[in-house]
Amino acid sequence: MNSIKSIRLPLVFVVVLLFLSASTFSSRSQQPKDFEKQIDALLRKMTLAEKLGQLQQLDGEANGNFRPEHLELVRQGSLGSTLNVRGAQKTNELQRIAVTASRLKIPLIFGFDVIHGYRTVFPIPLGEAATWDPAAVERSASIAAAEARAAGVHWTFAPMVDIARDPRWGRIAEGSGEDPYLGSLLARARVRGFQGTDYSAPDKVVACAKHWVAYGAAEAGRDYNTTEVSERTLREVYFPPFKAAVDAGVGTFMSAFNDLNGVPASANHFTLTEVLRDEWKFDGFVVSDYTSVEELMKHGVAANEAEAARAALDAGVDMEMVSRLYNKHGEQLLKDRKLSLKTIDEAVRRVLRIKFRLGLFAKPYADPARESAAIFNSANVAAAREIAARSLVLLKNDRNVLPLDKPVRSIALIGPLADSKTNMLGSWTGDGKPEDAATLLVGLKAKVPQAKINYAKGCDINSDKDDGFAEAVRAAKESDVVIIAVGESAEMSGEAASRSSLDLPGRQLELVKAVHATGKPYVVVLMNGRPLTINWLTENSPAILETWFAGTQGGNAIADVLFGDVNPGGKLPVTFPRNVGQIPLYYNHKNTGRPPDANNKYTSKYLDVDWKPLFPFGFGLSYTRFEIANLKLSAPRISASGQLIVSVDVRNLGPRAGDEVVQLYIRDVAASVTRPVKELKGFQRVTLAAGETKRVEFVLGAAQLGFWNQQMRYGIEPGEFMVMVGPNSEQLIEAKFAVE
Ligand code: NOJ
């Protein structure tokens, strides 16, 4: 495929490319220190076995221990890294062997999945994305980094920046949703939070952008499935959050499990070398996903282990996670001239570079004194509560059922998720402990201690039994108001957790209907790792609060919102469909030649369901009302290298302070290739006192208005653009401008 360097570019495109590459460097957090001479010296001393050893990562035990065989492997220089080994004492024990007993004393790098918290667990990434608040997301990552590093972990396998347009795919829970712009800002925020400006600091870790690439495009939403994605869609939808991570200085990447356009991501020279190394100048290393090198045989692109090792290393996978084919076959491949020493040296250089940047040669050990002070301290727990509250999305609130009155006498708390500690934490729990989690029952007891809480589970999350319904109905009848917590279990999303139905599992909807029939006022609290098809609830339930899996402090944060101590301001980072048949359904789709028209049969729609989603991307309500008006553009036309300032007034019309996320979308009306009907290009979450008005400004320029043309060159084409601003992707006010 084309590499953009080799093409003669027209003027507009050249200007834009210069602009983009300039911004790439200025937005890098810091120019990393130069360790190349030290790396050269080490490479000269290393045997081939020691080199291959640096490229090997092995798994520890689930409890954080290393495995007995690691001791000898480390001693002989045959292991460069582990995953899951954690805790200052355990990591120090293994590290001591590496830096005192191995010949070259090269330190180990300890990796771990610190996805949304280490011990203090924050909302799942999809929930954090619903904050639409990069500063909050950066803070969460920064706390996770401080806890992890104190426990001897140097490297997190996060952020997961896969764009996901299919909620059947369980891993949608681990990313920032469907939008490349929101995804890019949050990728940058997470990299900054984890790494800071210098990840050798005692409270930082090196980050890993994963899963490179298009893993979220799995056919039919089935995890690990095949992907077919055009280069344009890769560049416009799936690549941008990865590029944002590179621009923020991310140290590592993880190659994905999926095959992409016929070439597995873990043997894909185009994505790993041509794009990542050559075009984007990424100088860190790529680790394979768990056994994804070995899996090249099952993919059918390698006939045996040696071929799999060669394909992955040659394509640009520097470190092998768990399978051991580089080490088993590297020497023979070299002898047979199927692999060059240069390729191996380059991979080793990249791994060593990150170890140097982490400061591991100078300071290989974790400080046990830091461990107890840094982990799960009260400041971290308070931050988890605050960020969790910011991630909640109010989907419905008829006649202001919410917020509830604090002087309430009795509350029925119903549902299988109302008091489930394990499920609060979501699918990746790091070193989080269920016993740390505040459930909704805990949160309510603390929030309204005087109220009588009639708790009834009602049913399990996923069973066909309804023998708890009678008790739940009784609890509802005996109470002034009802809160029902329903949704998915934590393990129904995340890896290997695809679903073909997005309905509430088991008998939960019937439980809600039974409570509904009592006529009591009630609120539905949803906990889930993906959009659900909640049509009945949307039509019939008075209020719905989407809470994802809100983490250690989830129950307290939900109580803060239910009783109005926090006014909800989160917005959906992903579209909620009406049924599975609508999938993939995303806001930034193409117009088609026959856009949907209710009065014309021969247009793009369904016979049996609306073409529109149940809740659009960007949607979320508040306890107050906002108006967005007075859309102004700084000019009616700009040049291709110019800038446009877009501004609106946002006003709080209601009686209490609240947050609105002002969202800006653009549309390129006619171009040489079809363009999405709208694309998010700016947003700001603003807090307004009752009655307050603020002017919000956005800047549009080359980086926001360009696209990849038919020759796969990036640039802006002259012509008309629409600008749309509003509180979600559907309620928008519009203006037009032209690029000359
Ligand atoms: C497999 C998952 O796909 C990846 O996200 C994770 O980082 C590794 N396992 C390591 O646990």
d(Cα 628, Cα 648) in Å, to the nearest integer? Answer: 7
Instruction: Tell me the pLDDT band of 23, cut-offs 50, 70 and 90.
Output: very low
Q: What is the pLDDT of residues 437-477, one digit of tens each?
A: 999 999 999 999 999 999 999 999 999 999 999 999 999 99
Instruction: Tell me the pLDDT band of 34, cut-offs 50, 70 and 90.
Output: confident
What number is the average pLDDT over the span 218-245? Answer: 98
Residues with active-site annotation: 289
Q: What is the pLDDT of residues 249-274, one digit of tens each?
A: 999 999 999 999 999 999 999 999 99
Q: What is the pLDDT of residues 677-691, one digit of tens each?
A: 999 999 999 999 999
Atom nearest to 174 CA in ligand 1: 5
State residue 626 phi and psi, 5-degree precision.
Answer: -120, 155
Mutate to test the pocket of ligand 1, among 113, 124, 156, 258 (most ligand atoms within 8 A of CB): 113
Among protein residues, the one with the nearest Cα to ligand 1's atom 4 is: 289
Ligand 1 center–CA 723 separation, angstroms = 39
Among protein residues, the one with the nearest Cα to ligand 1's atom 9 is: 290
Instruction: Tell me the pLDDT band of 31, cut-offs 50, 70 and 90.
Output: low
Atom nearest to 111 CA in ligand 1: 10
Tokens of 363: 């300071």
Q: What is the pLDDT of residues 119-134, one digit of tens each?
A: 999 999 999 999 999 9
What number is the average pLDDT over the span 67-78? Answer: 98
What number is the average pLDDT over the span 537-558? Answer: 98
What number is the average pLDDT over the span 167-190? Answer: 98
Instruction: Tell me the pLDDT band of 32, cut-offs 50, 70 and 90.
Output: low
Pocket of ligand 1 (CB under 6 A): 83, 113, 157, 210, 289-290, 495
What number is the average pLDDT over the span 307-320? Answer: 98
- Mean pLDDT, the chain, integer: 95
pLDDT of residue 13: 41
* pLDDT higher than threshold 80 for residue 36: yes
The full DSSP string for 361-398 is: TT--S--HHHHHHHTT-HHHHHHHHHHHHHT-EEEEEG
Ligand 1 center–CA 290 separation, angstroms = 6
Tokens of 564: 């109005």
Atom nearest to 84 CA in ligand 1: 11
Q: Of all residues in the chain, what percent carry a pLDDT higher than 70?
A: 96
Ligand 1 center–CA 62 separation, angstroms = 13
Among protein residues, the one with the nearest Cα to ligand 1's atom 7 is: 157
Q: What Cα–Cα distance (Å) separates residue 578 from each residue in 83, 147, 395, 613?
A: 40, 40, 14, 6
pLDDT of residue 90: 98
Among protein residues, the one with the nearest Cα to ligand 1's atom 11 is: 113
Ligand 1 center–CA 429 separation, angstroms = 13
What number is the average pLDDT over the span 471-485? Answer: 98
pLDDT of residue 460: 98
Helix (H) or strand (E) holding 150: helix 134-150
pLDDT of residue 702: 87
Q: Of all residues in the chain, what percent carry a pLDDT higher than 90?
A: 95
Among protein residues, the one with the nearest Cα to ligand 1's atom 1 is: 290
Work out the number of other CB atoms within 10 angstroms of the CB of residue 219: 12
Instruction: Note if the pTM is more than 0.75.
Output: yes
* pLDDT higher than threshold 80 for residue 429: yes
Mutate to test the pocket of ligand 1, among 115, 157, 212 (most ligand atoms within 8 A of CB): 157
pLDDT of residue 6: 34
